[in-house]
Structure 1
Amino acid sequence: MSIVIVGGNECMESQYKQICKSYGCRAKIFTKMPSNFKRQLGFPDLIILFTNTVSHKMVGSALQEAGRRNTRVARCHSSSSCALKELLAAHLPSGCAGPEC
């Protein structure tokens, strides 16, 4: 499963990747908006928006592209590692429910 994380803290990028990897997911993380953001999103299975640490413009772009690609979107105000684990557990297929997968 591929995931795009929009927002979050720069210092936690490596932790976000490790958490996603432990759940069997590949992750792209965008803590700041690059110039070609829409093209870099790709075709993920899930877009996670950490709404507390992201600009309105970046949220709008991510939601617009998610709508075009019929991609699920999960929003969370907190950008903590626990919040990411809860989102992954809630949105992963029923066959995989945790890091032991």
Structure 2
Amino acid sequence: MCATLIGGMDRLKSNYLQTAKQAGVQLKIFTGKENSIANQLGESKMIIIFTNKVSHQAKNEAMAIAKSRNIPVHMLHSCGISTLRKCLRETA
């Protein structure tokens, strides 16, 4: 499965990828500083948004894309590795 993570911390990027790989998920990560993510989402089956580390503009863009493509969205306040692990475990 391919999922997209929006938000989070740059320094945890490699940990996010490793955690997703262990869960059998291919993860695309956007830390929220990108100008446009719509064209880069690809075939994501799920969007995870770390709400405490993302701009309103990035969140709104992700929500619009998810709605138009009928992709489930999981919004989580914390941006830790354990939060991502729990989300992937519950949705897999």
Assess same fold via TM > 0.5.
yes
SS of residue paired to 2:19: helix
User: Percent identity over the alignment?
Assistant: 35
The structure whose Rg is larger is 1
Aligned residues: 92
Q: Residue 9 of structure 2 corresponds to which residue in structure 1?
A: 9
Q: TM-score, normalised by structure 1?
A: 0.87
User: Does the 8 Å CA contact 1:50/1:75 hold for their aligned counterparts?
Assistant: yes
Q: Report the alpha carbon displacement of residue 73 of structure 1 after superposing the two structures with TM.
A: 0.5
Q: Residue 28 of structure 2 corresponds to which residue in structure 1?
A: 28
Look up the equivalent residue of 2:4 and give its one-letter code. Answer: V
SS of residue paired to 1:24: coil
Any gaps of 5 or more consecutive residues in structure 1? 93-101
Look up the equivalent residue of 1:66 and give its one-letter code. Answer: A
Between the aligned partners of 1:55 and 1:28, the Cα distance in structure 2 is: 18
Any gaps of 5 or more consecutive residues in structure 2? none
Between the aligned partners of 2:71 and 2:50, the Cα distance in structure 1 is: 16
SS of residue paired to 1:35: coil
SS of residue paired to 1:74: strand
Look up the equivalent residue of 1:54 and give its one-letter code. Answer: V
Q: CA RMSD in A?
A: 0.9
SS of residue paired to 1:47: strand
Q: Residue 54 of structure 1 corresponds to which residue in structure 2?
A: 54
Q: Report the alpha carbon displacement of residue 13 of structure 1 after superposing the two structures with TM.
A: 0.3
Q: Report the alpha carbon displacement of residue 32 of structure 1 after superposing the two structures with TM.
A: 2.9
Look up the equivalent residue of 1:73 and give its one-letter code. Answer: V
Q: Residue 39 of structure 1 corresponds to which residue in structure 2?
A: 39
Q: Report the alpha carbon displacement of residue 37 of structure 1 after superposing the two structures with TM.
A: 1.6
Look up the equivalent residue of 1:81 and give its one-letter code. Answer: I
Look up the equivalent residue of 1:62 and give its one-letter code. Answer: A
Q: TM-score, normalised by structure 2?
A: 0.96
Which 10-residue stretch deviates more, 36-45 or 21-30?
A: 36-45
